[in-house]
Amino acid sequence: MNYEIYFPRGVAKGSAFCNRENERKRLISNIRSRQHTLIMSPRRYGKTSLVKYAVKEMGILYGEADLFIAVDAERIEQQILTAVKKIISEVSTSVEQVLETIRQYFKKTSTRWTVGTQGINIALIPENNQDPAITIMEALNALEDLLSKKNMQAVFFIDEVQEIGEIAEGKGIEGALRHVAQQTRFLSFIFSGSNRRLLANMFFDKARPLYKLCDRIILERIHESAYIKHMNKLARKRWGCDIDNDALETIFSLTERHPFYINGLCLHLWDANYERPPTIKDIHMYWTQMVKEERQEIMRELSALSMGQRKILIAISEGHIRELTGKAFLKQVNMTSSSVVEAVSVLEKRDYIEKLENDTYHIIDPLVATALRLYYGDLF
């Protein structure tokens, strides 16, 4: 058997989904009360999984626009229109009736739209060369209008939303989203993103359109006690018994409970030919194997950093996690205070490191942290 179903690389669903009780409750209650939500966390902490799990649990109409690879406004428009069409096609009445409602709505708008079907799909085509921000606004308003007539609620999920802020026409699109989101009664928006700085610029700056629009959920790593329950349940299915506490501790300390790497490591362990749960030694062996497998990729990424940035990253991996502009540290890395500040800021911006509440720095990716210790150990 392949245990990817328990420990997927992609979205976690069904028996692969662990906990998130509080976040799920909050998200569901936001959706019910039409409060829009912004979910923030570094990459691969479980934002997409959380949203999909919650909407499935609610059994609510749902569409998603994934802006992960959106490079321009047209692409964003296309992703949003796809999500709009998906929700329209799931509104439960005859397609012709639904399309007629939308046609009526578009009669009132400034843009001419072609509304119809293409095979089994809905066609919703704006006139050529229309401003993407206007297209997005009109399509979402038409959807809200349709939902209000049917008295149905829907969730509109815009994933990796920070990309909007990164493109030239972004501000227009942000404005369009605000315009719609401010007055919807049937559509609830969920935005998610991984780059804290870019999101902060978009959502917490008074001058930007999306300011104060959302309830903010910050997704942390999953709590240890929840993971113990979750993993022992899956261990009993695999070996008929629990995993030793020491072994679980080893999994947690190597992966630092980063959900993506917990799944990566556990997949190896569950897939291995053991007749018994893994021991501490097995766990270290597979973790080192994962580091070796990713070595080239990690090195390639690191080589894109400047010498100073790399030095700081290595120093953090070796436990220099506070007072990075202190005299002793500057001497050790042989850098000036301003160049350390600059390097730290770039590393934070690119999501290599994060500053924790106790003012210490932390490398976000545990595999990168291990690789640094393994290949650059003893540098300081």
Ligand X SMILES: Nc1ncnc2c1ncn2[C@@H]1O[C@H](COP(=O)(O)OP(=O)(O)O)[C@@H](O)[C@H]1O
Rg (the chain; Cα; Å): 24
Helices 95-107 and 73-90 cross at an angle (nearest 10°) of 130
State in angstroms the smallest separation of the CB of 251 from ligand X: 13
AA letter at 43: R
Residue 44 in contact with ligand X, rule: CB under 6 A: yes
Q: Is 235 left (phi over 0), alpha (psi -120 to 50) or beta?
A: alpha
- Among the listed ranges 17-25, 176-184, 269-277, 282-290, the one in contact with ligand X (CB under 6 A) is 17-25
DSSP 275: S
State in angstroms the smallest separation of the CB of 46 from ligand X: 3
- CA atoms of 118 and 121, how far apart (whole Å): 5
Residue 217 in contact with ligand X, rule: CB under 6 A: no
Which three-class secondary structure string do you get for 89-154?
HHCCCCHHHHHHHHHHHHHCCCCCEEEEEECCEEEEEECCCCCHHHHHHHHHHHHHHHHHHHCCCE
Residues 47-76 contacting Mg ion, CB under 5 A: 48
State in angstroms the smallest separation of the CB of 230 from ligand X: 7
Residues 45-84 contacting ligand X, CB under 6 A: 45-49
Q: Closest CB to ligand X among 66 and 342?
A: 66
**Paired strand residues for 62:** 155
Q: Closest CB to ligand X among 68 and 274?
A: 68
Residue 233 in contact with ligand X, rule: CB under 6 A: no
Binding mask 146-185 for ligand X (x = CB under 6 A): ----------------------------------------
* The only residue of 259, 277, 278, 308 in contact with ligand X, by rule CB under 6 A: 259
Torsion angle defined by CA atoms of residues 176, 179, 183 and 185, in that order, rounded to the nearest 10 degrees: 10
116 binds, among Mg ion, ligand X, none (CB under 5 to 8 A by kind): none
Query: Taking the mean position of all CA atoms in its chain, how far away is CA 358?
Result: 24
DSSP reduced 3-state for 377: coil
- CA atoms of 89 and 22, how far apart (whole Å): 32
- Listing DSSP states for 22-71 in one string gives HHHHHHHHHHHTT--EEEE-STTSSHHHHHHHHHHHHT-EEEEEE-TT--
330 binds, among Mg ion, ligand X, none (CB under 5 to 8 A by kind): none
* The only residue of 12, 143, 173, 202 in contact with ligand X, by rule CB under 6 A: 12
Residue 20 in contact with ligand X, rule: CB under 6 A: yes
- Among the listed ranges 10-18, 285-293, 324-332, 337-345, the one in contact with ligand X (CB under 6 A) is 10-18
What separation in angstroms does the CA of 73 have from each of 96, 122, 163? 30, 22, 10
* The only residue of 43, 179, 295, 350 in contact with ligand X, by rule CB under 6 A: 43
178 binds, among Mg ion, ligand X, none (CB under 5 to 8 A by kind): none
135 binds, among ligand X, Mg ion, none (CB under 5 to 8 A by kind): none
Residues 17-46 contacting Mg ion, CB under 5 A: none
Residue 263 in contact with Mg ion, rule: CB under 5 A: no
Residues 263-322 contacting ligand X, CB under 6 A: 263
Q: Closest CB to Mg ion among 48 and 188?
A: 48
Provide the binding-site residues for ligand X, judged by CB under 6 A. Answer: 8-9, 11-12, 16-18, 20, 41, 43-49, 259-260, 263
Provide the binding-site residues for Mg ion, judged by CB under 5 A. Answer: 48
